[in-house]
């Protein structure tokens, strides 16, 4: 059985994958469920931390340094570039989902176009 946090996470992720902005997804789910916006955000990020392998209730890992060494700077740059690659992969996945949805809509419209045109033409003739 899924936890509430998992349900919130999955619903927000489903909406984001369909092309909805994350903030808009939170707002819509809050309105639909009657739950406070911030409560949903807390549930979402709580579950996200769990998926990322963090301890429950643990604060996000932040490196505190008194000084930045060249090795630290390179590690930070490498991590930023790796996150950029992951971000691009997510963008591609979302775009693919939008393409598939648009293709299905196109095929449905193309498949029903003749029938719809014929029906409208019949009604036009009936008006004459």
Contact 48, 6 (CB under 8 A): no
Q: How many domains does the chain have?
A: 2
Three-state SS for 80-105 is HHHHHHHHHHHHHHHHHHHHHHHHHH
Q: What is the distance between the alpha carbons of residues 26 and 4, in angstroms, rounded to a whole number? A: 14
Distance CA 85, CA 58 (A): 26
A 10 A CB-CB count for 5 gives 18
Domain of 17, CATH number, reads 1.10.10
Residue ranges making up the domain that contains 98: 64-128
pLDDT in tens, 101-113: 999 999 999 999 9
pLDDT tens-digit profile of 37-82?
999 999 999 888 888 876 655 565 566 667 888 888 999 999 999 9
Indicate whether 123 and 71 sit together in one domain: yes
pTM: 0.43
Q: Which of 12, 33, 62 is the last residue of a domain?
A: 62
């Amino acid at each position: 059985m899924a936890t509430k946090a998992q349900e919130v996470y999955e619903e927000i992720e489903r909406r984001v994958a369909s092309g909805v902005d994350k903030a808009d997804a939170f707002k819509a789910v809050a309105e639909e469920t009657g739950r406070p916006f911030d409560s949903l955000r807390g549930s979402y990020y709580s579950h996200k931390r769990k998926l990322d392998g963090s301890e429950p209730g643990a604060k996000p890992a932040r490196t505190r340094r008194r000084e930045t060494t060249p090795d630290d700077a390179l590690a930070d740059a490498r991590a930023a570039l790796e996150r950029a690659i992951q971000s691009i992969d997510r963008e591609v996945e979302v775009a693919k989902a939008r393409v598939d949805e648009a293709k299905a809509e196109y095929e449905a419209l193309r498949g029903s176009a003749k029938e719809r045109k014929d029906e409208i033409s019949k009604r036009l003739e009936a008006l004459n």
